[in-house]
């Protein structure tokens, strides 16, 4: 019986592989042809292949939505097959590559952040300070047209190393926006490949295929990280490098990785915090502790010299919070506060209060997790705690985007136990729909189709992660009661 079940699961792999690839292609094509809304005009891409269809944008948006749903369902089926140990790491890697392939030729999808990246790199190239001014300082033109109006007058909240990288991309691309977008995606793909290799190395031998599934074949990575070309993939990579280096007692390498992560984006400071907690709580010799501290400080200071006013980004930490993400935990708490107070507080005040409360709770939780991770004798357990701290930061900020999950998700995939992986599966499936094509907004599809797709996928995700004994109990309980 077990052999026949395994054969049936393996026989479903072609459908999973090609169905997921077709779904990924539908997402790439649908989002591309649907175009964007809200006042931004991204470039048409090489040979005008990225040009939207002005006549039928809603139809293409619906195609993308169906693709998101099918890709999420394919991911859940793949997870079930891998969990049954029916396939190995090589098969998962091939499937993940096929699913990601359509994204490689698509424009940045479901996010306009790449065009902000390019504008900020262009500002550095022209000697302008992105930490004091927004891209509007570049003046009218195709570069500014591609940037979301929300971010045209806001300073960059990214570290000096990230801005230095964006400057290099703007230089190498010679001002060609499409080339710059593809270069940034190449950097993201290389980061995903590298982190996948490391995750396979550090995960327990019996869970390597499962860990790779949660990292490389996860729709969050395929669609939002690779498809959206978000450099948050670098943080996930450096988080794994930090844990790996601490495991090997390569403290200087860990200090370099943590300081590099911090100089890309603020969440990297948690890696520095973990390294210091480990050095103190594990009673590492003083000379090694001082070496790591000096290395961290020197690297951070060195990176700050890459761009003008290299510390200016620390004053722009409020920039992401200038938008509202309705499903972010802080926004949900803000809505609850607004309802509980009977609308005596203005919604903006309720949201501000909720953001402060959620941030405070997140800060306390993060401190506890990092302090425990520092004393943890098991390096895998420490990695899981650090991953949980990074995920807590992603959830407790004023806004939350799907790609933020990558910060700590890769560590949880490699180091956490089965229960955390179950949560990762549900989270990955649900957050597929955290961003949908702009052209669905205000249509009947956003009111009816999107909720239906979310319910179908989340229900399948819950069915996937519920232990078989619970499923059997639910199915047999009515019969027992009737008897």
Indicate if the pLDDT at residue 322 is higher than 90.
no
Place of tokens 């961003």: 435
Indicate if the pLDDT at residue 260 is higher than 90.
yes
Indicate if the pLDDT at residue 334 is higher than 80.
yes
Query: What pLDDT is recorded for position 2?
Result: 43
Sign of CA dihedral 117, 123, 125, 128: negative
Query: What pLDDT is recorded for position 159?
Result: 96
Query: What pLDDT is recorded for position 472?
Result: 47
Indicate if the pLDDT at residue 479 is higher than 60.
no
How many Cβ atoms from other residues are within 10 Å of residue 254's Cβ? 28
Query: What pLDDT is recorded for position 428?
Result: 83
Place of tokens 């109990």: 473
Average pLDDT over residues 279-301: 95
Indicate if the pLDDT at residue 11 is higher than 70.
no
pLDDT band at 447 (very low <50, low <70, confident <90, very high): low
Asked whether 227 and 185 are in contact (CB, 8 A), the reply is no
How many Cβ atoms from other residues are within 10 Å of residue 455's Cβ? 10
Query: What pLDDT is recorded for position 342?
Result: 78
**Cα-trace Rg, the chain:** 23
pLDDT band at 161 (very low <50, low <70, confident <90, very high): very high
Average pLDDT over residues 90-101: 96
Q: Is 295 left (phi over 0), alpha (psi -120 to 50) or beta?
A: alpha
Average pLDDT over residues 342-355: 86
Average pLDDT over residues 92-118: 96
Query: What pLDDT is recorded for position 10?
Result: 62
pLDDT band at 176 (very low <50, low <70, confident <90, very high): very high
Indicate if the pLDDT at residue 281 is higher than 80.
yes
Average pLDDT over residues 211-216: 95
End-to-end Cα separation, the chain, in angstroms:
29
pLDDT band at 442 (very low <50, low <70, confident <90, very high): low
How many Cβ atoms from other residues are within 10 Å of residue 125's Cβ? 15
Query: What pLDDT is recorded for position 112?
Result: 93
Buried b (16+ CB within 10 A) or exposed e, 10-27: eebbeebbebbbbbbbbb
């Amino acid at each position: 019986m077990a052999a026949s079940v395994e054969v049936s699961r393996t026989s479903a792999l072609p459908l999973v592989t090609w169905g997921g690839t077709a779904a990924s292609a539908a997402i790439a094509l649908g989002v591309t042809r649907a175009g964007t809304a809200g006042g931004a005009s991204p470039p048409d891409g090489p040979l005008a292949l990225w040009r939207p269809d002005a006549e039928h944008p809603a139809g293409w948006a619906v195609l993308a939505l169906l693709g998101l749903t099918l890709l999420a369902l394919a991911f859940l089926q793949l997870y079930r097959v891998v969990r049954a140990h029916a396939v190995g790491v090589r098969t998962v890697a091939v499937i993940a590559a096929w699913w990601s392939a359509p994204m490689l030729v698509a424009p940045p999808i479901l996010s306009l952040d790449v065009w902000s990246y390019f504008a900020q790199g262009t500002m550095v190239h022209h000697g302008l300070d992105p930490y004091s001014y927004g891209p509007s300082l570049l003046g009218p033109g195709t570069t500014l047209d591609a940037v979301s109006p929300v971010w045209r007058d806001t300073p960059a909240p990214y570290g000096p190393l990230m801005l230095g990288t964006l400057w290099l991309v703007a230089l190498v691309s010679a001002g060609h926006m499409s080339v710059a977008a593809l270069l940034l995606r190449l950097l993201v793909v290389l980061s995903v490949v590298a982190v996948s290799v490391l995750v396979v190395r550090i995960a327990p031998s019996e869970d390597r295929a499962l860990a790779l599934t949660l990292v490389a074949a996860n729709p969050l990575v395929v669609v939002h990280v690779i498809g959206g070309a978000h450099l948050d993939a670098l943080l996930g990579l450096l988080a794994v490098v930090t844990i790996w280096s601490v495991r090997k007692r390569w403290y200087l390498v860990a200090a370099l990785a943590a300081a590099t992560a911090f100089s890309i984006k603020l969440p990297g400071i948690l890696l520095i915090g973990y390294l210091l907690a480990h050095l103190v709580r594990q009673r590492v010799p003083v000379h090694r502790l001082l070496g790591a501290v000096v290395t961290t400080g020197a690297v951070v200071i060195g990176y700050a010299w890459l761009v003008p006013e290299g510390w200016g980004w620390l004053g722009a930490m409020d920039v992401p919070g200038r938008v509202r993400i309705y499903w972010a935990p802080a926004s949900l708490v803000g809505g609850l506060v607004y309802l509980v107070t009977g609308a005596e507080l203005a919604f903006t005040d309720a949201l501000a209060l909720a953001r402060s409360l959620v941030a405070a709770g997140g800060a306390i939780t993060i401190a506890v997790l990092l302090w425990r991770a520092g004393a943890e004798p098991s390096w895998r357990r420490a990695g899981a705690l650090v991953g949980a701290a990074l995920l807590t930061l992603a959830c407790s900020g004023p806004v939350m985007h799907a790609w933020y999950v990558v910060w700590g998700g890769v560590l949880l995939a490699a180091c956490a136990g089965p229960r955390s992986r179950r949560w990762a599966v549900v989270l990955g499936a649900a957050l597929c729909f955290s961003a949908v094509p702009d052209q669905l907004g205000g249509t009947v599809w956003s009111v009816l189709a999107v909720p239906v797709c979310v319910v179908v996928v989340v229900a399948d995700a819950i069915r996937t992660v519920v232990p078989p004994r619970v499923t059997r109990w639910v199915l047999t309980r009515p019969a027992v009661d009737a008897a």
